[in-house]
């Protein structure tokens, strides 16, 4: 269980390096956004101060509750236009440690659709650019598109995630609600008003409280609650809603069978498929499976979730698109499956695979992955971007001939570290660690955002208005400690100013620390004492798992009904001198008395002192 203190938004912590939901594609040449598995989705939200530029902060801990002596890891998250600096953690006035912020591979702030792109600003606003034939720019100006970013009506702040798909977009607000706009032909806006679309955001109806992420596919969408439950709505022709009712569409959300809890990330594909990652790292998919894109070894459509088979270990991120899917394991390896005739599986072959295959050269060090119409891209832990598959419009960003490749090639012209990449149908966009947005590939609809439509580019170009410090970039610091005392601890954290963002105190987090169980053992010295022996008790008090510390406190020693005395336990040990004992049997009992950190335990033994020989 994880407790979360949040200022201005609810966010998830990531199993590996930070994870999030993604969009996928259903037609060749559509766009996607990856899903990253993030363990800290659960927990109550608390209001608190923000950084300069309305950048929120959040503090989470795991496990919570914990046990005395157990390692507790605190994650302090800061959002803004690339915040840097250090976070210091305290238990009351006691400093527990400090940690430097590192950028997260977080795609919640950027999503490339078929020929439209949306991104979050550092203030939590949504801006979109490109095609607007169905109102998917959300600016109330359909069908007029734009080749430079414009603000979505009513969403200039307070948004934590955005997802753009075919002709529909959705956003999660810091209040845990979902708003969608654009095409609604099959009810994918979730407002119960199909087929009437909207060129401005409308509320999704019937969702439970506490939504933390959203995934948008071709004609359907899904949401994830802070309790790990998945709900979907819209088109269900291939079972992509996961409710067991293939062919029965729904203009309002319905629960996915078997996923009422335990999910940490979701993703929806343009190929009418949907995927999820559980808190144990299992990957599950459902919906259309015509090219094996569900990864279950078949090409059979599924209207309830099935396991992806053959992945070597727990999954950290997953991204389906039109007819193929890719994932990253917690060990940082990239795997893909499904349609691969354009090389989009990245395994050096051009063929279909019903089960995952390893991406060549990306067996470790991958932070996140995203799938496009017929290409795929990944970001490494080192902040480099690699793409593979079709390159007809320069969507691989390698500045070379428009030739497809079935192994990853580096994106050129990116001098800054990359923290997120989102692959569209025939274009791609990325966020840099400086908080800038860049795009490359086809620009027929203005989807590169550089104000130069319809001129495309086979290398990255700057998105107008999204220079350094403009896009939302999340960073986090992790601090682990075993030094928490028992009880309800009021843990606080403080972010120090980096010269751009003001110093800010995080909302306090209540860490519940349970008493540790103990086990007491006695050893008598010497082993066979006589009436002249000076008897000692060597007492050991051990903290039992999950506690790992050595208990301290006091213990009481009794000889039968007689109290011998009280003695101190230091670092789990006590040496008790009993002296010479009278002849006869002595029933010795040692009681570790416990305290606010440790539970009681006791041990008994008996010693028989023989009578001395006659005449002595």
Mean pLDDT calculated for residue range 306-325: 96
Residue at 2 is within a domain? no
491 and 575 both lie in a single domain: no
> Of 488, 514, 540, at which residue does a domain stop?
514
Q: What are phi and psi of 47, to 5 degrees?
A: -75, 155
158 and 276 both lie in a single domain: yes
Positive or negative torsion for Cα 260, 261, 262, 264: positive
346 and 364 both lie in a single domain: yes
> Where does 245-352 show beta strands of DSSP type E?
250-255, 263-268, 273-278, 283-287, 302-307, 315-320, 324-329, 334-338
Q: How far is Cα 132 from Cα 134, in angstroms, rounded to an integer?
A: 5
Q: What are phi and psi of 203, to 5 degrees?
A: -75, 135
* pLDDT of the residue at 509: 95
507 and 587 both lie in a single domain: no
Give the CATH number of the domain where residue 525 resides. 2.60.40.10
Q: How far is Cα 324 from Cα 343, in angstroms, rounded to an integer?
A: 11
Q: How far is Cα 508 from Cα 494, in angstroms, rounded to an integer?
A: 10
Give the CATH number of the domain where residue 313 resides. 2.130.10.30
Mean pLDDT calculated for residue range 177-199: 96
The owner of tokens 């702040």 is 157
* Tokens representing residue 198 in the block: 């909207």
Residue 190 and residue 205 in contact, taking contact as beta carbons nearer than 8 Å: yes
The owner of tokens 């336990």 is 569
Residue at 7 is within a domain? no
* pLDDT of the residue at 50: 34
Mean pLDDT calculated for residue range 521-538: 93
Task: Tell me, letter by letter, the H, E, C secondary structure of 433-491.
Answer: CCCCEEEEECCCCCCCCCCCCCCCEEEEEECCCCCCCCECEEEEEEEEECCCCCEEEEE
Residue at 1 is within a domain? no
Lowest average pLDDT, out of 12-16, 96-100, 260-264, 315-319, goes to 12-16
Helix ranges restricted to H, 258-365? none
Residue at 423 is within a domain? yes
Residue at 398 is within a domain? yes
- Residues contacting residue 352 through CB under 8 Å, at least 6 positions apart: 291, 292, 338, 339, 340, 341
204 and 301 both lie in a single domain: yes
362 and 437 both lie in a single domain: yes
Q: How far is Cα 393 from Cα 117, in angstroms, rounded to an integer?
A: 17
Residue 111 bridge partners (DSSP): 118
Q: Which is it for strands 22-23 and 263-268: parallel, antiparallel or unpaired?
A: parallel
> What order of strands is seen across the sheet that includes strand 72-80?
3-6, 57-62, 72-80, 473-481, 102-103
344 and 483 both lie in a single domain: no
70 and 131 both lie in a single domain: no
pLDDT in tens, 114-141: 999 999 998 899 999 999 999 999 999 9
Buried b / exposed e along 497-511 (16+ C-beta atoms within 10 A): ebebbeebebbbbeb
Q: What are phi and psi of 107, to 5 degrees?
A: -90, 5
The owner of tokens 């590996």 is 16
Residue at 9 is within a domain? no
Burial of 298 (0-12, 13-18, 19+ CB in 10 A): middle
182 and 79 both lie in a single domain: no
State the distance between the two ends of the chain, measured CA to CA, in whole angstroms: 68
Question: Could you tell me what percent of the chain has a pLDDT over 70?
Answer: 91
Residue at 108 is within a domain? yes
Q: How far is Cα 116 from Cα 132, in angstroms, rounded to an integer?
A: 8
pLDDT in tens, 196-215: 999 999 999 999 999 999 99
Helix (H, G, I), strand (E, B) or coil at 127: strand
pLDDT in tens, 445-499: 999 999 999 999 999 999 999 999 899 998 899 999 999 999 999 999 998 887 7
* pLDDT of the residue at 56: 53
549 and 499 both lie in a single domain: no
121 and 218 both lie in a single domain: yes
Query: Mean pLDDT over all residues of the chain?
Result: 89
Buried b / exposed e along 564-596 (16+ C-beta atoms within 10 A): beebebeebebebebeebeeeebebbbbbebbe
pLDDT in tens, 10-66: 333 333 333 333 332 322 333 334 444 433 333 322 223 333 443 557 899 999 999
358 and 503 both lie in a single domain: no
Residue-range definition of the domain harbouring residue 481: 57-103+476-514
Between residues 108 and 29, the one the model is more confident about: 108
pLDDT tier at 615, thresholds 50, 70, 90: low
Residue at 74 is within a domain? yes
Residue 187 and residue 249 in contact, taking contact as beta carbons nearer than 8 Å: yes
* pLDDT of the residue at 616: 52
Mean pLDDT calculated for residue range 254-277: 96
* pLDDT of the residue at 143: 94
Count CB-CB contacts under 10 A for residue 531: 14
> Of 471, 503, 526, at which residue does a domain stop?
471
Q: How far is Cα 249 from Cα 218, in angstroms, rounded to an integer?
A: 13
* Tokens representing residue 422 in the block: 């989102």
| Number of domains present in the structure of the chain | 3
Q: Is the pLDDT of residue 605 over 80?
A: yes
pLDDT tier at 406, thresholds 50, 70, 90: very high
> Of 446, 471, 496, at which residue does a domain stop?
471
pLDDT in tens, 542-591: 999 998 889 999 999 999 999 999 999 999 999 999 999 999 999 999 99
590: DSSP letter: E
* pLDDT of the residue at 5: 36
């Amino acid at each position: 269980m994880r407790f979360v203190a949040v200022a201005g938004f609810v966010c998830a912590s990531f199993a590996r390096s930070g994870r999030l939901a993604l969009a996928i594609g259903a037609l060749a040449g559509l766009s996607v956004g990856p899903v990253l598995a993030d363990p800290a989705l659960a927990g109550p939200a608390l209001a608190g101060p923000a950084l300069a530029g309305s950048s929120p902060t959040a503090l989470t801990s795991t496990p919570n509750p914990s046990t005395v002596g157990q390692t507790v890891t605190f994650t302090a998250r800061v959002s803004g236009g690339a915040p840097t600096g250090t976070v210091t953690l305290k238990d009351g006035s006691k400093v527990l440690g400090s940690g430097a912020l590192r950028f997260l591979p977080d795609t919640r702030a950027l999503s490339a659709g078929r020929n439209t792109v949306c991104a979050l600003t550092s203030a939590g606003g949504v801006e979109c650019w490109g095609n607007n034939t169905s109102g998917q720019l959300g600016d109330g100006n359909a069908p007029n598109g734009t080749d430079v970013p414009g603000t979505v009506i009513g969403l200039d702040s307070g948004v934590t995630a955005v997802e753009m798909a075919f002709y529909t977009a959705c956003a999660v607000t810091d209040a845990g609600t979902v708003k969608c706009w654009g095409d609604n032909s099959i009810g994918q806006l979730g407002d119960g008003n199909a087929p009437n679309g909207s060129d401005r955001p409308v509320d999704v109806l019937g969702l439970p409280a506490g939504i933390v992420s959203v995934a948008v596919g071709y004609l359907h969408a899904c949401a994830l609650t802070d309790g790990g439950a998945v709900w979907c709505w819209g088109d269900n022709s291939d079972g992509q809603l996961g409710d067991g009712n293939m062919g029965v569409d729904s203009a309002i959300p319905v629960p996915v069978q078997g996923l009422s809890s335990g999910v940490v990330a979701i993703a929806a594909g343009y190929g009418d498929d949907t995927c999820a990652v559980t808190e144990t790292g299992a990957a599950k998919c459902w919906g259309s499976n015509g090219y094996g894109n569900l990864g279950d070894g078949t090409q059979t459509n599924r209207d309830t979730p099935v396991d992806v088979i053959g992945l070597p270990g727990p999954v950290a991120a997953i991204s389906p698109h039109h007819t193929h899917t890719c994932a990253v394991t917690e060990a940082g390896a990239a795997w893909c499956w499904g349609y691969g005739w354009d090389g989009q599986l990245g395994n050096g072959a051009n063929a279909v695979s019903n089960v995952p295959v390893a991406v060549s050269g990306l067996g470790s060090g991958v932070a996140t992955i995203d799938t496009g119409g017929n290409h795929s891209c990944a970001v490494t832990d080192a902040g480099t971007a690699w793409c593979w598959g079709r390159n007809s419009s320069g969507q691989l960003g390698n500045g070379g001939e428009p030739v497809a490749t079935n192994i990853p090639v580096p994106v050129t012209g990116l001098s800054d570290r990359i923290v997120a990449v989102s692959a569209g149908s025939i274009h791609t966009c990325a966020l840099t660690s400086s908080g800038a947005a860049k795009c490359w590939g086809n620009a027929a609809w203005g989807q590169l955002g550089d104000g130069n439509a319809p001129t495309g580019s086979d290398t990255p170009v700057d998105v107008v208005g999204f220079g350094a410090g403009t896009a939302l970039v999340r960073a986090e610091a992790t601090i682990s400690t075993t030094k928490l005392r028992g009880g309800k601890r009021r843990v606080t954290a403080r972010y120090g100013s980096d010269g751009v963002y003001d110093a800010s105190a995080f909302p306090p987090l209540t860490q519940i620390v349970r008493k540790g169980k103990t086990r007491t053992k006695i050893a008598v010295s010497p082993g066979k004492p006589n009436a002249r022996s000076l008897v000692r008790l060597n007492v050991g008090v051990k903290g039992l798992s999950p506690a790992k510390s050595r208990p301290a406190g006091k213990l009481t020693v009794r000889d039968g009904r007689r109290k011998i005395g009280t003695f101190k336990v230091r670092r789990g040990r006590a040496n008790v001198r009993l002296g010479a004992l009278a002849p006869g049997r002595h029933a010795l009992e040692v009681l570790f008395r416990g305290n606010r950190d440790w539970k009681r335990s006791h041990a008994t033994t008996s010693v028989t002192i023989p009578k001395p020989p006659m005449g002595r």
